[in-house]
Each structure stands twice: as C-alpha cells, then as structure tokens.
Amino acid sequence: MEPIRISYFSDVLCIWAYIAQIRIDELEANFTDKISIDYHFISIFGNAREKLENRWRDKGGLQGYSNHVKEVVKKFDHIHLHPEIWTAVTPASSTSCHLFLHAIQLLELKGIIPQSDRIFERAIRAFREAFFTKLEDISDRKVQFAIAKQLGLKKKMIQAQIDSGEAYALLSKDFDLVKEHTINVSPTLIFNEGRQRLNGNVGYRVIEANIRELLHNPPDEQSWC
C-alpha cells in the first residue's frame, strides 16, 4: 500500500506552526512508512512588520502582539519563547526564509545531501527555534547562512539553488497550491487529494484519527457513508 500523502502548509514565523511541530514529529514517528509529508509554505507573515503594526495598532502594536503570543504559549509546556519576542527583533518577511529553506530542500531532492539525514525538516525547526527562543532575525540572509552552517551545509551549495531560480520555482509552486486549495491558515494539513483538511491548532489525536480512517478506508474503496 502506498503511503498516505499529506501536504503540510505553514509559515515559519507562525506561533501555531511552531506549537504544532511536535505533533508532526509524533506523526512521522508513529506512522513511519505509512505517511509521506510534503512540506509547503504559506505567506502569512510575508510582510510581517507592516501587517502586525497595522492590525495591532489599536491593541498595543507590536508589544500587544508579543503579549498575545506569550499568552498563547502559556497553554503549552513543550515550547519556550524569548521574553522580547516580536518587539526587540521583528523580521521583515517570512518569504525570505521560505525561499532559503526551499534551496535546502533542493539539495535533498537532487541527492546532493542524503534525504535520510532529514536536513530540510531540521532546518525548518532550526529557523523557528532561532527566532522564537533566541530572537534571531531569520529573515536576514546572514542569519540564514549561519543556521545552515550549523547544520553542516555549505553556503555555495545553497546559493546555487537560489541563483538558478529553482528555489523560486518551488516557492511559486507553494503560492499556486495555496490558491488552488484556498488555504489561508497556518498550519493546514491537506489529506486525500484535497478532500480532507485540518486547519490551525488541531490536536494530535484528531490528526491521528484522520490518518487511521484513511488507512482503514482507502480513498479508492467504496464508502457506505
């Protein structure tokens, strides 16, 4: 039986995606050979500074948003935040991060680095942790290359994927998929070729139940529902 393909859309600067990462890790651990997760990005924070300043202007501005994020995180024990999140450092855009991460993904797709090392997924986690816990401006290319170096990646390898235009092509594909599936929430999981989706802060058991349903009732089998 072919593994169930799951399209996972998130923004690297989204607190809910940072919270949900542990659930994705758990899925991959518990359904190792039964699922295949395709990572895609949605531009919720593509224009982060202006968006937050405008939307939170009457609610305390960036400090108000920072307070909101810290209140959200209080409900979860598995992640930690820098006390000055979104105030002392406010990244300009998550799009820069997404482009860079796709460049790393291309290294795996081309076999330049082994997929078994899961560097692409580790890079996504590293970017989130760098911002949310260390308050590093991950939209800055210098910071991105520093993170990549910590993962054992060479600058010229990544830059080549960007210079060739191929990383931009993957990012453009994400934009097309977001439009095709009308996705406007981070994170979003798409199952069953778009016929099922889970948006936002969805618990692990709910995600697991959807996967088990597909495993026991493959989409090409007749349903009596």
SS (H, E, C) 141-186: HHHHHHHHHHCCCCHHHHHHHHHCCHHHHHHHHHHHHHHHCCCCCC
Provide the pLDDT for residue 7: 95
Taking 70 as the pLDDT cut, the residues of the chain under it are 218-225
154 vs 1, 96, 107, 151, CA distance in Å? 38, 18, 11, 9
Q: What is the pLDDT of residue 220?
A: 54
Instruction: Identify the bridge partners of residue 6 per DSSP, sorted by sequence position.
Output: 37
Res 222: pLDDT? 43
pLDDT, tens only, 66-107 = 999 999 999 999 999 999 999 999 999 999 999 999 999 999
Distance CA 98, CA 83 (A): 25
> CB burial class (10 A; 0-12, 13-18, 19+) of residue 126?
middle
- pLDDT in the model for residue 1: 72
Task: Output the pLDDT for position 192.
Answer: 78
- pLDDT of 113 reads 97
Beta-ladder partners of 85: 89
Return the pLDDT at 224. Answer: 42
Q: Is the domain 4-216 a CATH 3.40.30.10 member?
A: yes
The domains of the chain are located at 4-216
Read off the pTM. Answer: 0.92
| Count of C-beta atoms within a 10 Å radius of residue 172 | 12
Q: Which residue has the tokens 């998929």?
A: 177
**End-to-end alpha carbon distance in the chain:** 23
Looking at residue 38, the DSSP 8-state letter turns out to be E
CB neighbours of residue 219 within 10 Å: 12
- Name the residue type at position 7: S
pLDDT score recorded for residue 193 = 76
